[in-house]
Structure 1
Amino acid sequence: MGSSYRAPLEDMRFALYDVLGAEQLFAKLGFDDASRDVLDAILQEAARFTETVLAPLNEIGDREGCTFDKATGDVRTPRGFREAYEKFVDVGWSGLVSPVEFGGQGMPHLAGLPLKEMIDAANLAWGNFPLLSHGATEALLHHGEAWQQDAFLKPIVEGRWTGTMCLTEPHCGTDLGLLKTRAQPREDGSFDITGTKIFITAGEHDFTENIVHLVLARLPDAPAGSKGISLFIVPKMRVDRDGAMGERNAVRCGALEHKMGIHGSATCVINFDGAQGYLIGAPNKGLMAMFTMMNTARLAVGLQGLGLSDRALQNAVRYSRDRLQMRSLTGAKFPDKPADPIIVHPDVRRMLLTCKALVEGGRVLGYHGASLVDVAHHAKDAGDRQQAEALLGFLTPIVKACLTEWGVECTYHALQCFGGHGYIAEHGMEQLARDARITTLYEGTTGIQALDLMGRKVMQQQAVGLQVFLGMIEEFCNAHANDESLAEFIAPLRAKAAEWQALTMQVGQRAVADADEVGAAAYDYLFYSGYVALAYWWARSVAAADASSQSAAFKAGKRETARFYFARLLPRTAMHAQAIASGAGALMAMPAERFGD
């Protein structure tokens, strides 16, 4: 039977229009074509495509997986996947947020987020194929030469080719300074690329005639470590500078990884054996170009966690309304039935409300991150662009880590609502739980996001982004200081903002004497930040709902969910604060040999 999916259009519109003011933002940024009518049409068509085309393929992709031909190195995707991609391209989704001059539709980044969420909820494995193309597009837009954009960017935007990111090698993951892939200059200005990359999503498949690999490698005279890494365009099929596609390049898939989840996504070992490639960006500046891809990809992976959470919640709510088990503790609620539906029981409600609070609050958090991309790139005022860039950098690890870890939590809560029926394959809940697990790992593990937030965005950059966010909280609280209907949210939000500031200063002071304090505090600091950020967006959501034309039931639902969040989930910050305050001592005291064999 599997799980089902219906796009949450009402809440998506609420997040876009009522909370974030997307119409006004797009008008201010000069996106004249991004009217509400156009955005609503995008939402409707995206819902139809994901519900009717992608969602029915989700179970098929998990069951069949991708298949690998050792003799040829070819990869075949699950039944229906390629045809779904053809429909995706025909509608124009591949270029929705790409510039018009390269064949795109020129929509704001935020306008593409609901489509992205729907794709991930409907079929996460399938969604990984176009996801990597978007990352390649961003790198080429910001760092590619004019001829590279003409030769490679246009076919990717049009969906005729797809892209990849080739970072990880068998001996190095996060520490890219250890990578060994080599780039040898040729007389014609291109390079021979030699090495092996692993965990390459969409590294080989049958969707398109060409795949454009963006590969990190070292030039012969490169400095050691991360300062000696360059980025290269290495297509599966050779491409001349005029864009003409030629013979097969020396690029080959060596194997497919066998994974816990996302079976329909091709996770490849890719071997480069003197393959022709072109330098993108400046020599030895490849990490800067690659981070252009990684930052947008990290926001996108956060949306994967959100999409899976929402699908899991939808199915758990439906099941909890139908499944009859025992009577309510306060007496029968459905006396005409042999037992009450399990949604009357407090613990089931705890799990459902946890998911609902994290999904609906997380949606605004993630969408806000996307809106900052638009402001950073298109705001007319340089100060606005700079402020958006600082806040985006600060929020990116929070969005990526929190939405994916909450995705694991929510898919497991939803599975638990099904009891034993959730553990078996019939209802599709165990697939959602398995698929969610990868989101906390790729594009930088949760621990890496925590170090990025604490080490780079707070310590190195002096918490500039945090100060912007705290200013948003202060402005909101001051604006509603005399609003009795929001008083229950304003006071605790003010207190948490002050504590957030104090905790940041405490870690900074301790880190002066012991650098391990940064790493020791990082994980708890990240989640403390995530829960306070969500408290802000829940308070904003209640205020936006009250001021909107939404139904009374919708407004009541937002307020009730916000109350649950502030009462039951925001107190998690107390645990994280206490862990931060405990310092590095308890973590670092034990010698490695005492951990056991």
Structure 2
Amino acid sequence: MNPYQPRTDDMAFILANVLQAPAQLQALGAFAEVDPDLMRQVLDEAGKFVGEVIAPLNRDGDEIGARFEAGSVTMAPGFRDAYQAFWQAGWPALACAAEDGGQGLPAVLEATLYEMLSAANHGWTMAPGLLHGAYECLKHHGSDALKARYLGKIATGEWLATMCLTEPHAGSDLGLCRTKAVPQSDGSVHLSGTKIFISGGEHDLSDNIVHLVLARLPDAPPGPKGLSLFLVPKFYANGHRSAVVCERIEEKMGLHGSPTCVMRFDEATAWIVGEPGKGLNAMFVMMNAARLHVALQGIGLLDAAWQKADAYSKERRQMRAPGARDTSLIQDHPAMRRILDTQRAWIDGGRVLAYRTALELDLLKHHPDAGRRDAAQRWCSLVTPVMKAAFTHQAFYGASECLQVFGGHGYVREWGIEQIVRDARVAMIYEGTNEIQAIDLLVRKVLPDGGAGLLSLLNELRADLDPSHAPDALALRQFAALGELTLELVEAAARDGALAFWVADDYLRATALALLAWAWARIERTLAAEGADRARLWLPAARAMRHWVLPEFDMRASIIRARCTASEAARTD
């Protein structure tokens, strides 16, 4: 089966036509030169590089993988050459500031790049995937000395970075971290401890690796408030190697092209990033950026799976489809058509939401009006956990549905679809499990302000909808129902502290579906102004969204209301 190829026409259509991104960006001043032609040029060049250089390495990454020997990791054949070409061509620096060696382009273009990369070769993309977050973390919290030494190298991608959080006994609860940081007379610290599940902790892609590590200073209070963030490189400026040792790499279900390392710090000399006791504040700059990129991984992986299934369905004949006289292509069978159109609907709707989120990040950073920046912050805060959870979930389950199109051929390695299913599964876990994303949305963001932030976001989106247009009317109905449901939960959760935790997953899913209804309303309204040829390609997915995806909203709402009722009944018994 041919490797993944980016569909830059579809991506450009969503950016330019559905979201009108060029006009929004040019109004910011910082991106006055980012017109449709420039955006399309970046998309096309990125698509060409990804399709020709990165995608062909995917199978070797899975079958040969990263190899560990005596503390060193050798990446799969071609991986280092591809990475060297990647950073030297300027791709990691796309959205970094010009003064740091970057190109100063919008975050939304970087988002499209990483969607393509994840679809083409998820294992390879794990290495540069943390660069943007590490750059933002160091730029906002690093000392002048650290920035002078490391920021430009990270911005350009010449040196790669890691995020060292998890310990054997401390996964989602980072407050349990025990890694120690002992201050030295010269202002540095000595780091000692073990971190696990460190993506790219050791490799041969770049000449240096910059580790950002959560640890505790002496006498730090217990829990998350006692954590500080530190920087330790693989190699220091004098060429000496740090006391950071890769003990082993994990044998995993998927992502064999990415070394997941156990890292031991043996009194390694490091320097603090940010203020003592505020390590999580600095680290979350990395994690928030990472969560949007993980959502894009989900969209990209689902697109890669859909591409394989769609191509197979157009060449494989099997039985007679309803109304046919002879054997039919698989794509003509309604059961297979439903699978393919449904996954395409998730991909296209997901792109609208993900690209809108990246645009909001650009507005948050550059818009001159404080009110608009507040609105952008609200969008990113509320929508990012929804995106991360909903689209990594769909990547795994949707890729499994795409495997079904192949029948038995999908279960063998020859066609490559089973690799996508395996690779996609981890995205539901890392950068905060999907259950934690749901709790973050409902318990930490919606309930504390009585649902005001979410209701404000829904009101903003309502202003974009036309009740006389059927897809818009559907989105409006779901917005109204989500608003009512939110107020019911606010009232019920005040009486039952556990209630929100029981229904958080259902609430996030309902929110995702309502946002998808809005996204597809935008797409369909745009298609109405386009030619019939484009509409013909997109309308099957639009129908699938209405018929097979959005009806789930009512089910999720019913589950939540039933739980609220049961909670009230238990309270009054």
Q: Which moved more, 1:574-583 or 1:174-183?
A: 574-583
Aligned position for 1:177:
175
Aligned position for 1:497:
479
Out of 326, 349, 354, the position equivalent to 1:361 is 349
Q: Is 2:550 the partner of 1:574?
A: no
Q: Distance in 2 between matches of 1:372 and 1:97?
A: 14
For 1:248, what is the secondary structure of its paired residue? coil
Offset of 1:346 from its aligned partner? 1.0
Contact 1:393–1:465 under 8 Å retained in 2:
no
Change (3 A) 1:586 1:513: closer
Aligned position for 2:467:
481
Aligned position for 1:593:
none
> Deviations along 1:197-220, whole A, 9 cap, x unmatched?
000011110011211111011111
For 1:11, what is the secondary structure of its paired residue? helix
Q: Is 2:522 the partner of 1:540?
A: yes
Contact 1:118–1:307 under 8 Å retained in 2:
yes
RMSD over aligned CA atoms reads 1.7
Amino acid of the structure 1 residue aligned with 2:175: G
Offset of 1:469 from its aligned partner? 2.5
Offset of 1:355 from its aligned partner? 0.5
Q: Distance in 2 between matches of 1:42 and 1:411?
A: 28
Q: TM-score w.r.t. structure 1 length?
A: 0.93
Aligned position for 1:49:
49
Aligned position for 1:558:
538
For 2:563, what is the secondary structure of its paired residue? coil
Aligned position for 1:199:
197
> Deviations along 1:59-116, whole A, 9 cap, x unmatched?
000000101112xx11100000000001101211011110000100010101111111
Amino acid of the structure 2 residue aligned with 1:558: W
Q: Which moved more, 1:463-472 or 1:447-456?
A: 463-472
Q: Which moved more, 1:34-43 or 1:377-386?
A: 34-43
Q: Distance in 2 between matches of 1:28 and 1:471?
A: 23
Offset of 1:560 from its aligned partner? 3.6
Amino acid of the structure 2 residue aligned with 1:367: Y
Offset of 1:328 from its aligned partner? 1.5
| Number of corresponding residues | 569
Aligned position for 1:153:
151
Amino acid of the structure 2 residue aligned with 1:290: M
Offset of 1:545 from its aligned partner? 2.1
Q: Distance in 2 between matches of 1:83 and 1:245?
A: 26
For 1:512, what is the secondary structure of its paired residue? helix
Amino acid of the structure 1 residue aligned with 2:21: A
> Deviations along 1:527-559, whole A, 9 cap, x unmatched?
0000110000000111122234xx312123333
For 1:254, what is the secondary structure of its paired residue? strand
Offset of 1:463 from its aligned partner? 3.4
Offset of 1:29 from its aligned partner? 1.4
Contact 2:182–2:191 under 8 Å retained in 1:
yes
Aligned position for 1:518:
500
Aligned position for 1:370:
358
Aligned position for 2:281:
288
Q: Distance in 2 between matches of 1:540 and 1:26?
A: 19
Gap regions ≥5 residues in structure 1: 239-243, 590-597
Offset of 1:585 from its aligned partner? 9.1
Contact 2:467–2:476 under 8 Å retained in 1:
no
Q: Is 2:100 the partner of 1:107?
A: no
Q: Distance in 1 between matches of 2:529 and 2:455?
A: 28
Contact 1:235–1:249 under 8 Å retained in 2:
yes
Contact 1:520–1:584 under 8 Å retained in 2:
no
Out of 310, 316, 327, the position equivalent to 2:320 is 327
Counterparts of 1:397-416 in structure 2 under 5 Å? 397-416=385-404
Q: Distance in 1 between matches of 2:535 and 2:48?
A: 27
> Deviations along 1:435-484, whole A, 9 cap, x unmatched?
1101111101110100010111111244344123312332022xx234xx
Q: Distance in 2 between matches of 1:252 and 1:132?
A: 20
Counterparts of 1:450-469 in structure 2 under 5 Å? 450-469=438-457
For 2:272, what is the secondary structure of its paired residue? strand
Contact 2:84–2:206 under 8 Å retained in 1:
no
For 2:27, what is the secondary structure of its paired residue? helix
Q: Distance in 2 between matches of 1:461 and 1:377?
A: 24
Q: Is 2:340 the partner of 1:352?
A: yes
Q: TM-score w.r.t. structure 2 length?
A: 0.97
Identity, in percent, stands at 44
Amino acid of the structure 1 residue aligned with 2:533: A
Q: Distance in 2 between matches of 1:3 and 1:245?
A: 46
Q: Distance in 2 between matches of 1:573 and 1:466?
A: 17
For 1:422, what is the secondary structure of its paired residue? helix
Aligned position for 1:250:
243
Offset of 1:297 from its aligned partner? 0.1
Offset of 1:514 from its aligned partner? 1.3
Aligned position for 1:241:
none
Offset of 1:3 from its aligned partner? 4.9
Q: Which moved more, 1:305-314 or 1:459-468?
A: 459-468
Aligned position for 1:386:
374
For 1:237, what is the secondary structure of its paired residue? coil
Amino acid of the structure 2 residue aligned with 1:420: G
Q: Distance in 1 between matches of 2:264 and 2:107?
A: 33
> Deviations along 1:14-56, whole A, 9 cap, x unmatched?
1110111111111111212322222222111111111111111
Amino acid of the structure 2 residue aligned with 1:583: R
For 2:33, what is the secondary structure of its paired residue? coil
Counterparts of 1:23-34 in structure 2 under 5 Å? 23-30=22-29, 31-34=31-34
For 1:352, what is the secondary structure of its paired residue? helix
Out of 309, 314, 330, the position equivalent to 1:316 is 309
Contact 2:451–2:490 under 8 Å retained in 1:
no
Q: Distance in 1 between matches of 2:12 and 2:80?
A: 30
Counterparts of 1:575-590 in structure 2 under 5 Å? 575-583=555-563
Q: Distance in 1 between matches of 2:450 and 2:190?
A: 41
Offset of 1:503 from its aligned partner? 1.0
Aligned position for 1:531:
513
Contact 2:162–2:198 under 8 Å retained in 1:
yes
For 1:26, what is the secondary structure of its paired residue? helix
Q: Distance in 2 between matches of 1:99 and 1:461?
A: 35
> Deviations along 1:231-251, whole A, 9 cap, x unmatched?
11111112xxxxx34311111
Gap regions ≥5 residues in structure 2: none
Q: Distance in 2 between matches of 1:560 and 1:165?
A: 42
Q: Which moved more, 1:226-235 or 1:75-84?
A: 226-235
Q: Distance in 2 between matches of 1:578 and 1:245?
A: 63
Q: Distance in 2 between matches of 1:462 and 1:511?
A: 10
Amino acid of the structure 2 residue aligned with 1:91: A
Contact 1:33–1:107 under 8 Å retained in 2:
no
Q: Which moved more, 1:162-171 or 1:26-35?
A: 26-35
Q: Distance in 1 between matches of 2:453 and 2:353?
A: 15
Q: Distance in 1 between matches of 2:191 and 2:313?
A: 55
